[in-house]
Structure formats: C-alpha cells, structure tokens
Amino acid sequence: MKTKKITKEEILNLLPYKRPFLFVDEILTLNEEQIVAQYTFRQDEFFYEGHFVDSPITPGVILTECMAQIGLASLGLYLIRDSVKNKAPDVAMTSNEVNYYKLVLPGEKVVVTAIKEYFRFNKLKSKVEMVNDSGTLVAKGFVSGMVIKY
C-alpha cells in the first residue's frame, strides 16, 4: 500500500484545536519516529490574567497540553495519514508523566521534541522534551493517548 504524502502545514490545519487553545506554531521536523515543533507563549494568552496576578507564569497543565498537541496529536496525525480524510481525528490523552524544571514566562518560545515509543491499535506513546530558546530543559516525560480516526 502506498503511503499518502502529507505536509507539515496540512498537519497543522487538521489539528482539532484552534486559538486560543492551539499550542503549536510551526512543525520543524516530522517523520515516522519523531516530531520537533515550536510554540511562542504570547503575552496575551487567556491564562496569564489569573495565573498569577502581577507575576504571570505558564501553568504546568498548559505546558503538558503543548507537549501533547505536538507529541500525540501532530505526530499521531502523521502516523495515521493514510486514513485521514479532510476532518481532524479526535485525540484523547490517556496518561502523562511529566516533570517540570523551569518556568515559562509570557513571550517565551519553546521547542518540543517527541520521540515515538510505540504506536499500536491507534494508541501512541511518546517521550517528550521541552526546551526554551536558550536550550534549557523546561520539562520532560511521557504522554500517551488514542488517535481516533474517522
């Protein structure tokens, strides 16, 4: 069976997220085994207003979501590309194990690398790592979930 070509831009357009809950700006590298993508946390993100007042930082749950959108949703879309029509599949995170090492402030860019651990029966587990612009480790761990195709 011939594998369908799909571009990085098509992956971004097929993601089941939109602003203000899309945390992938650009896919830098993408293949069967890994993805590298980036996102800049804009000054006006909705969650900064209340987290924390007068001293905003990016919540850990948002950092995890960013890693999942890259390491599960984007990589998962690429892996099921032969069955993707013009509708985004659902992606459900089933587990994560993430450790945090550095704060991410408004205006900071992060780069996420996700390496496929396994992909079977539409269940994907990825080893993820997030670094900031200076290459300092922000967070790392594992995310896994189901990619439900239509």
Sequence spans of domains, the chain: 8-148
pLDDT exceeds cutoff 80 at 87: no
**Structure confidence at residue 81 (pLDDT):** 85
**Structure confidence at residue 2 (pLDDT):** 65
Residue pLDDT, tens place only, 1-31: 567 788 999 999 989 899 999 999 999 999 9
Region 91-106: what's the mean pLDDT? 93
CA torsion through residues 86, 92, 97, 102, sign: positive
Structure tokens at 55: 């001293």
Region 120-145: what's the mean pLDDT? 96
- In the chain, the percentage of residues whose pLDDT exceeds 70 is 95
Please give the mean pLDDT across all residues of the chain: 92
- Between vectors from CA 71 to CA 128 and to CA 50, what angle results, nearest 5°? 85
List the catalytic residues. 51
Region 64-82: what's the mean pLDDT? 93
- In the chain, the percentage of residues whose pLDDT exceeds 90 is 75
Torsion angle, alpha carbons of 88, 44, 42, 146, to 10: -30
Backbone angles phi, psi at 93, to 5 degrees: -75, 125
CATH 3.10.129.10 fits 8-148, yes or no: yes
**Structure confidence at residue 149 (pLDDT):** 64
Q: Are 70 and 62 in contact (CB under 8 A)?
A: no
